[in-house]
Amino acid sequence: MGKYLVMIYDDEAKWAAADPSVAEQNHKNHLAFAEANGAALRGGGQLDSSTTATSVRADGNGGYVVTDGVFAETKEVLGGYYVIEAADLDEALAIAKQVPSPMGGVEVRPLVNGG
């Protein structure tokens, strides 16, 4: 068994343009997903929009540079995550395929040493 982080990447522009009913339905889909995969879920959450993100980088001189915005500028941004426990990558991917992500997709990464 190992733990995997399932990161949900969304195109925020698409969410902004979508009817509120789409977000409502998506919320219901997540509840259904969580119920169906309760045995494997170890945590998860929805992130606030990328405009609320703050990045912190070491400046190389012992200090830090704090900037407004996400770490890497891409069309899809991290919008939420689940931590799941699975026997292997195939099982993790089978769960990841059920994660509702209508405006993007998900990335699956193992936690080191099984988390």
Using CB under 8 A as the criterion, which residues of the chain lie in contact with another protein when the complex forms?
Answer: 2, 4, 86-94, 108-110, 112-114
DSSP, res 51: G
CB of 36: closest distance to another protein in angstroms?
Answer: 16
CB atoms within 10 A of CB 77: 21
How buried is residue 25: exposed, middle or buried, by Cβ count under 10 Å (0-12/13-18/19+)? middle
57 or 109: CB nearest another protein: 109
Residue 46 three-state SS: strand
12 or 91: CB nearest another protein: 91
13 or 36: CB nearest another protein: 36
CB of 20: closest distance to another protein in angstroms?
Answer: 35
CB of 47: closest distance to another protein in angstroms?
Answer: 24
28 or 109: CB nearest another protein: 109
**64 and 56 Cβ atoms separated by less than 8 Å:** yes
CB of 27: closest distance to another protein in angstroms?
Answer: 27
